[in-house]
Structure 1
Amino acid sequence: MREILRFRQRSAAYVLRQTPSGPEVLVILHQDSPEAGVQVPGGGALPHETIGEAAIREALEETGVRGLVFGEVLGNKLARGDEYPDGYQVTSYSWLRTEDSRDAWDHTITSADEDCGMRMRCEFRPVASAGIDWDMDVYLERALRGFEVGLPVALPQK
């Protein structure tokens, strides 16, 4: 008999942009919690959202980055722990494209959840030296490959 695994669904986003010196990824630093390290935008998906919608919403909510375009879903990471309501959490990683020209800025989250009021330092860093913590860079190289070949590819119109 199959067991149904209940879990908390999260979405995380690699927000990528191209610069003359090469591709960069957007990272966030929690100004009030430096122990959180260097992260990428992400958080809980809402019941009605697709993974891509959640990735865009979380990136916008946590950073205020402008002009996001969805690239693709890259993969999932399963975590087990007592801190998760059902004992498990699945984080689905995606990449997004932007042409936002800001290199670094401060952002305060405005949302309807417990993140409201959190202060973030947002920085674009070269992909090769982004310094992302917590194994959140697990799909970064795969994201870069899709970004560099120009995904998403528009389907021909009939």
Structure 2
Amino acid sequence: MTRPRIRVAAYVVRRRDITELLVFDHVDAPEAGTQIPAGGVRPGEDLEHAVLREIAEETGLATAVPVRQIAVEDSPHPGTGQPRRTTFFLLRAPADTLDAWSHRVRGDDEDAGLVFACRFVPIPLPQPLADGQDAWLDRL
């Protein structure tokens, strides 16, 4: 049996008058859909460190504070069918975080160099997230 790829995903919320979720779209690949920060865990890396790293790499946001783990989901990759185990985390962003910004992905992963359009959207979301990433929002 193939071991699952270990991943993390981040529900980064900002609270003002309403609760909002940090999402992003691929500027050059809108067909990828709206997503939350997520990605693979490096060998020996702590899950909480991995989720903070993914948020920083994919959005540039370095001020999110972990609150708690929300869920662990086993599901196949939508394109390859390979097994994945994703741990979803709830994190808080400061209320004065920008409403929207553009970010070029850093790091050495496959997303490096891509440009993501990041923004906060109200919960409940106006549309579903790509790859069923909104499955655990009711646990916030």
Q: TM-score, normalised on structure 1?
A: 0.80
The alpha-carbon deviation at position 6 of structure 1 amounts to 1.1
Correspondence for 2:134? 137
Q: TM-score, normalised on structure 2?
A: 0.89
CA distance in structure 2 between the aligned counterparts of 1:13 and 1:49, rounded to whole angstroms: 16
Matches within 5 A, 1:75-90: 75-80=71-76, 83=80, 87-90=82-85
Calculate percent identity across the aligned residue pairs.
36
Q: Check whether the contact 1:56–1:96 (CA below 8 A) recurs between aligned residues.
A: no
Q: Check whether the contact 1:28–1:121 (CA below 8 A) recurs between aligned residues.
A: yes
Out of 2, 7, 12, the residue aligned to residue 9 of structure 2 is 12
Residue ranges of structure 1 left out of the alignment (5+ in a row)? 145-158
Correspondence for 2:67? 71
Structure of higher CA gyration radius: 1
Aligned residues: 137
CA distance in structure 2 between the aligned counterparts of 1:141 and 1:106, rounded to whole angstroms: 28
What's the CA shift string for 1:33-85, capped at 9, x where partnerless? 1111011000001112222111111011100113111111111221235826x
What's the CA shift string for 1:107-151, capped at 9, x where partnerless? 000111221101100000101125223210111121x2xxxxxxx
Q: RMSD of aligned C-alpha atoms?
A: 1.7
Q: Check whether the contact 1:68–1:97 (CA below 8 A) recurs between aligned residues.
A: yes
CA distance in structure 1 between the aligned counterparts of 2:37 and 2:119, rounded to whole angstroms: 11
CA 1:78 to 1:35, structure 2 compared with 1: closer, same or farther past 3 Å? same
CA distance in structure 2 between the aligned counterparts of 1:139 and 1:39, rounded to whole angstroms: 13
Out of 80, 87, 90, the residue aligned to residue 92 of structure 1 is 87
Residue ranges of structure 2 left out of the alignment (5+ in a row)? none
1:117 maps to amino acid: G
Q: Is 1:119 paired with 2:112?
A: no
CA distance in structure 2 between the aligned counterparts of 1:15 and 1:130, rounded to whole angstroms: 17
Matches within 5 A, 1:28-39: 28-39=24-35
Q: Check whether the contact 1:107–1:122 (CA below 8 A) recurs between aligned residues.
A: yes
Q: Is 1:128 paired with 2:124?
A: yes
Q: Check whether the contact 2:55–2:62 (CA below 8 A) recurs between aligned residues.
A: no
Q: Check whether the contact 1:25–1:130 (CA below 8 A) recurs between aligned residues.
A: no
**SS, match of residue 55 in structure 2:** helix
